[in-house]
Amino acid sequence: MVLFVIFCPIVAAMLIMVGAPARKTALAASVSAFAAALFLLLSFDHNQTDFQRVTSFTISPEWHLSFTTGVDGLSLVMVLLATIVTLAAVWFTGTVERQENAFYACLLFISGGAIGAFASIDLFFFYAFHELALIPTFLLIGIWGSGNRVAAAWKITIYLAIGSFILLLGLILLYQSLPVAARSFDIRALDAAARLGQISAGAQRHVYLLLLTGFGILISLFPFHTWAPEAYASAPAPAAMLHAGVLKKFGLYGLLRLAVPLLPEGAHHWANLLVVLLLCNIIYVGLVTIAQKRLDWMLGYSSVMHMGYIFLGIASATVLSMTGAVILMFAHGLSIALLFALAGELRERTGTLIFDELGGLGKVMPFASLAFGFGVFAAIGLPGLANFAGEIMIFFGAFKNGWEMNRFHIFQIATALALWGVVISTVYMLRAYRKTFMGTMDERWKGIVDLRFSLRLPIAVLIGALLCYGFFPQSFVRIVTPAFRTDLVTNKR
């Protein structure tokens, strides 16, 4: 079943490349992948903490390399997120003016790559599947992008390529830091070795730094974030939805899956650095976001800023904050996809996303205005929407903190400062909402029509999921928490 979820989009993309009807095939693939992911969720065995539905094909015995897939709570949530956003993105694509087949194939490759990375238990395929998205992203932004698409496409591609090769070095170093007999690319074997303390503290520090840099570039951690807003602003809406909503979560998933549980010493050693960087993500990028004059750029920056909260959850390494980080990853994926989808529709109708030219669109587009409001409130973190559940868990967890030093320590300061991030995001989100949907409307926009009924459905799915897990986050917490080890070195201190 896991294999079906992974290969459904990939096979569909190949069929589309050889000439199958693009939209129908893509929709069928994303609906069936979503259905399969739902099935995985419903049939998930809560009593089992290990990976479930594992299938394995040996590739190279001497390298202990095999194509192994399976899901535990953490990866299941991510797979679910990927399939929901894929469905929404494909649905929102509609007809593409030129090279329609290539567009859908690229979207499905990104989606299949992300799902494959989340569901791989083998490090090699975990890495390789993520890279599957690289070239399609380049093409999507380059061919169908808007604005400064050429520069944006180059920037994202080079950044991500270098980031992934740094990550690759980290993974190789991780593999080599194990004793020869224990070397394996299997995450379960690595985890067992880490529990036995087979990774020396020195090696943990090196590997963690490499992984943090590599994943950090992919997630747009503070000094490496400049590719993200530009790329998301120029990308066609479905590509931005998938990339900001799903693919960027790959790095966070990697940190949660590998860096913290396998390298607790390294995580502890570099925690202060990470806290400083993530505060820059929240405060500095937050202020930059306020200064934006275009909706698409503002959304791009806001997605960079929100990564800061998730980093806070990972850096503080308590079970509570890491669970919160996963919920926020899920919620942020849905809310940013919703916002990018609506921004894309707006751009299609008005041809501009500059705040000064927009305004009063709520009168002609009541549904879009309502949906955008939901997205805005979710992004701010209003109770009742899933983001709130994630953020509050992160803040509580970080304030309590995994390292449990007895004084007023850096994590408490960081939490206090990060709370101001909520204020900052309230400012820019509400301002964007006011400038776009409220106020006086320009004469030009009188003829604009609201979203078609068929487009309201994916929006409703996204909002429904946000509300559902906003009111019942416990259903996710129950799945996710067992995936985290409660015996982390950090938790014992």
Site for another protein, rule CB under 8 A: 17, 59-60, 62, 99, 102, 127-129, 131-132, 134-135, 138-139, 142-143, 154, 157-158, 161-162, 165-166, 168-169, 172-173, 176
Q: How far is the CB of 172 from another protein (least distance, A)?
A: 5
Do residues 241 and 339 make contact, with C-beta atoms less than 8 angstroms apart?
no
Question: Quick check: helix, strand or coil at residue 190?
Answer: helix
* Cα(273)–Cα(109) distance, integer angstroms: 35
Q: How far is the CB of 153 from another protein (least distance, A)?
A: 8
* Cα(306)–Cα(99) distance, integer angstroms: 34
Instruction: Between 155 and 294, name the residue whose CB sits nearer to another protein.
Output: 155
Q: How far is the CB of 161 from another protein (least distance, A)?
A: 4
DSSP secondary structure of 338-388: HHHHHHHHHHHHHS--BTTT---GGGT-HHHHHHHHHHHHHHHT-TTSHHH
Instruction: Between 214 and 245, name the residue whose CB sits nearer to another protein.
Output: 214
CA distances from 144 to 129, 151, 234, 457 (A): 23, 13, 9, 24
* Cα(215)–Cα(355) distance, integer angstroms: 33
* Cα(267)–Cα(271) distance, integer angstroms: 6
CA max distance for the chain: 73
Instruction: Between 138 and 253, name the residue whose CB sits nearer to another protein.
Output: 138
* Cα(343)–Cα(340) distance, integer angstroms: 5
Instruction: Between 169 and 448, name the residue whose CB sits nearer to another protein.
Output: 169
Q: How far is the CB of 79 from another protein (least distance, A)?
A: 20
Token pair 């897939």 is found at 69
Angle between the 410-437 and 295-316 helix axes, to the nearest 10 degrees? 160
Instruction: Between 54 and 169, name the residue whose CB sits nearer to another protein.
Output: 169
Token pair 């803040």 is found at 395
Instruction: Between 25 and 66, name the residue whose CB sits nearer to another protein.
Output: 66
- The burial of 271, by beta-carbon neighbours within 10 Å (0-12 exposed, 13-18 middle, 19 or more buried), is given as buried
Instruction: Between 161 and 467, name the residue whose CB sits nearer to another protein.
Output: 161
Q: How far is the CB of 104 from another protein (least distance, A)?
A: 15
Q: How far is the CB of 131 from another protein (least distance, A)?
A: 4
Geometric angle at alpha carbon 79, from 75 and 85, rounded to 5°: 145
Instruction: Between 39 and 57, name the residue whose CB sits nearer to another protein.
Output: 57
Do residues 374 and 461 make contact, with C-beta atoms less than 8 angstroms apart?
no
Taking alpha carbons only, the member of 374, 373, 363, 383 closest to residue 447 is 363
Q: How far is the CB of 168 from another protein (least distance, A)?
A: 7
CA 320 vs. chain centroid, Å, equals 19
Q: How far is the CB of 193 from another protein (least distance, A)?
A: 18
Q: How far is the CB of 100 from another protein (least distance, A)?
A: 13
Instruction: Between 27 and 182, name the residue whose CB sits nearer to another protein.
Output: 182
